[in-house]
Structure 1
């Protein structure tokens, strides 16, 4: 288990070997001497004591998986608790496959922020609450999950309330990040409880936006990305709920001319385009719900919506041209490039360098689908070119599903991280001499682990949004009419498959196999429950 050591001194005082009062954001000795206070980093020295608390079965399982075992080091057994859950969570969710050039600003800054915080800080306690719950999920220990999460969650909420009473703490990015982690905790519980997520933490994060960029140095960089993530979740939430963006976030991303909040970040740039998509949809839905008579004014308004949609479409096309060439999807063929055991749509699969890049493309596709739906709804018809675009975009989402899921069909478990029977299409699947093969930052093992960890979650939202889109009363029928025969049924089946992988109650059956599910009526219920629980989460 980790030994945090006896000293909580800042790094500067540790190096100088002097007493530190551990004040934040900088300690008193550093302020007095006018030197840079380098913050508070946790260092982990592992001592093998877990065997005292772990059953033989758990030791056998953990040795097989060897999740934290660096090459050449002996196997370590794992204890279900924050001491093991937090490193597991940070490794597989906040580290592998993450990049500041791609990231939305949540997981990408979590580790440096966490390392600068004491163990009793709101951020550390919030991460412990989420991590223990997620780790318990992987071990199929739902009862343990509830017991393990509750103390950390209660302590995190209490610590956060105390921090928010102090102006200097409200201005710290770590405080805003703690709010976001607690929001994730609430959203996960809402999805698994089949209820609507409470907005308290989301609104709390929005209220901290004006102060999140007030610091310099590392805190300033973290603050910029945290602010970008808060804005991203608000845009995602507005798109899901067909409403306008909250005023606290709209000042950062409004109008077509707005540049990205985080420079040279393609996710932030896409958000700056997604904001006017959300506003256009909100305006369109308000007028349609009002059921105003079709007169000259409404006809002119409809033409205005079509014009706005075309302008935003141009920006989305520019975004696609600007991303690196290596980020574009590569089409593989089942039986030729892929093992036939991997379920595909029309025997095809698109692969990407990472899960994050694939998800950016699906968000891009969803923005375009919304614009096409609004255009069709405004003109009450769909052109042949728009129909082709809709088909291509939905096909693109379908072709990405094998990349996220591979040949997985059963409930997720820890053994999946090291299971050689799980096949996940990637550039590593191509022969070494294949001209299409490109270098990726992730090794084959790292790619396997990061897709296993959250691949199913990353495709869950696009599919639930797609099923909702085609049923929308304001233009959804035009989108549905463009799909291929049987395509919608295939998408429903894949959604139920994901529900089993992530063990969502609405998709569970006595059999672990997908074939044990009866009918597709559950797919619509599952989509609705996921959207209600994830209504304030990151999108698509």
Structure 2
């Protein structure tokens, strides 16, 4: 560790000794770091699951950093660095950049010391610090157009291995490992690789002791990643050797059907409580809430909506694989022409239904936002987001009366949607754009609704702007995309989205939620 970082740490320790409160909210108002932590705690940190709500993920695990024995811990400093980075994006004044570097240096300095001591190396708080620094790295990577590094993620994996067998982990350690698995599964599917066998074992242990739906969906995601790799190998082998056995094709298609049924069962267990629920606008909102053909679904929380979209992405991945395998050169080995036509019709309809669901979820995340926003916009009464509270009666998409669990208040949903909506929907929009713009051979066989691909691309570009990610120098074009008014030709929107998608995928490399 160089002298500059050590000097910054001494200044950091001195300043933190003056911070005597047990919670961020009591500190001095003119302290920028305290302002950032207050802002982050109010709008990003989530309570642990109550009343049947989904597990809050990493954002529900930050509070131990401030309730531990030392507010100077590596975890507290790491969360402070993340809070400052997030707060800086909302303030848009650049004043906090130097402070971020100081706090980040302090976090790394403390973490380095913790890793050299056996007691602290095996501490849950040290693992939290490592995970937070990884999220901070990915967050800054996205906004800095740099490729995300995974050094802290690899460090977290090493720390978990040092905790001993999974059966001996603490409850908090189990939650951290569940988050690591969530990130690993997302990365494996995105990168077309299998999840490491050791992590699969961790998942099997956690899954047997936890009935949380979040854990169950990640376990299914491990199987999705595995099937995807197997399908990729078949596609590669058929390029060089068209004689792939019918048994191989039958086995993987059977596994896809079985896994899809398990995903349907998972959805049946949670949708009645979390959504989606059909929403209709009861009053005139300006700016209007952008929808595709008026379709909008609401959920009990932003986290619930995110998990349902993960479920949709798994089913979409499987359905696309089945469509490619069914339509390959070997299809005549196991299907006649009529069977192929029937199967393809079913698969295409399923894809359309899943894409419709994605599109209907976008208004829940983005509301009627048409500009980047600042800290003051958290109290902006013109920003509106659809919620379950807008309806006197709620029904799921099959017409059953809802039995909601974990329902957020209107105020909490607005706060979470403003803070995290654009971030959480970005992965889904990126996936959709990548699916339909990179699989040229499938495009002609995936007849989306008229104008739907262009609408998805527009929402993707809109989301980039709401995240303050520059994608064009044409301010008039950006305003058209943000407002949805006087939009350019569909071909132009699709072209712009195709150009941007690779950069964002790099930034999302090692982030989950």
What TM-score does the superposition give when structure 2 sets the normalisation length? 0.83
Match of 1:209 in 2: 160
Larger RCO (CA under 8 A, 6+ residues apart): 2
Give unmatched runs, 5+ long, in structure 2.
1-14, 328-339, 396-400
- Partner of 1:323: helix, strand, or coil? helix
1:207-249: CA deviation from partner (whole Å, max 9, x where unpaired): 22234577999x8221110010011101111011111112431
Structure 1 residues 507, 358: closer, same or farther in 2, change over 3 A?
farther
Once residues 397 and 131 of structure 1 are traced to their aligned partners in structure 2, the CA distance between those partners, rounded to angstroms, is 30
1:377-425: CA deviation from partner (whole Å, max 9, x where unpaired): 1122652111111100000000000111111011121122111111110
Structure 1 residues 352, 507: closer, same or farther in 2, change over 3 A?
farther
Displacement of 1:457 after TM fit? 1.0
CA contact (8 A) 1:281 1:374 kept: yes
Match of 1:525 in 2: 499
- Partner of 2:371: helix, strand, or coil? coil
Match of 1:220 in 2: 170
Once residues 262 and 536 of structure 1 are traced to their aligned partners in structure 2, the CA distance between those partners, rounded to angstroms, is 26
Match of 2:427 in 1: 461
Once residues 394 and 166 of structure 2 are traced to their aligned partners in structure 1, the CA distance between those partners, rounded to angstroms, is 49
Displacement of 1:295 after TM fit? 4.5
1:117-154: CA deviation from partner (whole Å, max 9, x where unpaired): 5232110111111100100111112x224222111111
Q: Indicate whether 1:146 and 2:111 are aligned.
A: no
Q: Indicate whether 1:46 and 2:12 are aligned.
A: no
Once residues 325 and 145 of structure 1 are traced to their aligned partners in structure 2, the CA distance between those partners, rounded to angstroms, is 44
1:73-98: CA deviation from partner (whole Å, max 9, x where unpaired): xxxxxx4x221111211221112696
Q: Indicate whether 1:510 and 2:510 are aligned.
A: no
Give the alignment of 1:428-507 within 5 angstroms.
428-431=389-392, 441-473=407-439, 476-477=442-443, 481-506=446-471
1:427-466: CA deviation from partner (whole Å, max 9, x where unpaired): 2222589987968642221221111111111111101011
Once residues 131 and 271 of structure 1 are traced to their aligned partners in structure 2, the CA distance between those partners, rounded to angstroms, is 27
Structure 1 residues 103, 476: closer, same or farther in 2, change over 3 A?
farther
Residue among 216, 220, 226 paired with 1:279? 226
Match of 1:422 in 2: 383
Q: Indicate whether 1:404 and 2:349 are aligned.
A: no
Match of 2:184 in 1: 234
Once residues 399 and 458 of structure 1 are traced to their aligned partners in structure 2, the CA distance between those partners, rounded to angstroms, is 15
Structure 1 residues 191, 398: closer, same or farther in 2, change over 3 A?
same
Residue among 80, 83, 87 paired with 1:135? 87
Give the alignment of 1:231-270 within 5 angstroms.
231-253=181-203, 260=207, 263-270=210-217
Structure 1 residues 96, 349: closer, same or farther in 2, change over 3 A?
farther
1:346-369: CA deviation from partner (whole Å, max 9, x where unpaired): 111000010000011000000001
Once residues 394 and 124 of structure 1 are traced to their aligned partners in structure 2, the CA distance between those partners, rounded to angstroms, is 40
Displacement of 1:317 after TM fit? 1.1
Match of 2:330 in 1: none
CA contact (8 A) 2:296 2:363 kept: yes
Matched pairs, number: 470
1:462-485: CA deviation from partner (whole Å, max 9, x where unpaired): 01011112244497537x614112
Once residues 291 and 394 of structure 1 are traced to their aligned partners in structure 2, the CA distance between those partners, rounded to angstroms, is 29
Once residues 373 and 182 of structure 1 are traced to their aligned partners in structure 2, the CA distance between those partners, rounded to angstroms, is 35
Once residues 393 and 202 of structure 2 are traced to their aligned partners in structure 1, the CA distance between those partners, rounded to angstroms, is 45
Once residues 53 and 281 of structure 2 are traced to their aligned partners in structure 1, the CA distance between those partners, rounded to angstroms, is 31
Once residues 332 and 153 of structure 1 are traced to their aligned partners in structure 2, the CA distance between those partners, rounded to angstroms, is 43
Structure 1 residues 446, 473: closer, same or farther in 2, change over 3 A?
closer
CA contact (8 A) 2:359 2:456 kept: yes
RMSD, matched Cα: 3.1
Match of 2:68 in 1: 116
CA contact (8 A) 1:94 1:108 kept: yes
Once residues 403 and 376 of structure 2 are traced to their aligned partners in structure 1, the CA distance between those partners, rounded to angstroms, is 28
- Partner of 1:102: helix, strand, or coil? coil
CA contact (8 A) 2:24 2:38 kept: no
Match of 1:343 in 2: 290
Once residues 438 and 484 of structure 1 are traced to their aligned partners in structure 2, the CA distance between those partners, rounded to angstroms, is 31
Once residues 445 and 136 of structure 1 are traced to their aligned partners in structure 2, the CA distance between those partners, rounded to angstroms, is 23
1:47-70: CA deviation from partner (whole Å, max 9, x where unpaired): 6x54xx5xxxxxxxxxxxxxxxxx
Once residues 236 and 393 of structure 2 are traced to their aligned partners in structure 1, the CA distance between those partners, rounded to angstroms, is 56
Give unmatched runs, 5+ long, in structure 1.
9-40, 54-78
- Partner of 2:149: helix, strand, or coil? coil
1:322-360: CA deviation from partner (whole Å, max 9, x where unpaired): 226221211123567987811111111000010000011
Match of 2:250 in 1: 303
Match of 1:371 in 2: 318
CA contact (8 A) 1:402 1:425 kept: yes
Match of 1:66 in 2: none
Once residues 244 and 393 of structure 2 are traced to their aligned partners in structure 1, the CA distance between those partners, rounded to angstroms, is 62
Match of 1:95 in 2: 46
Is the helix fraction higher in 1 or 2?
2
Once residues 86 and 383 of structure 2 are traced to their aligned partners in structure 1, the CA distance between those partners, rounded to angstroms, is 21
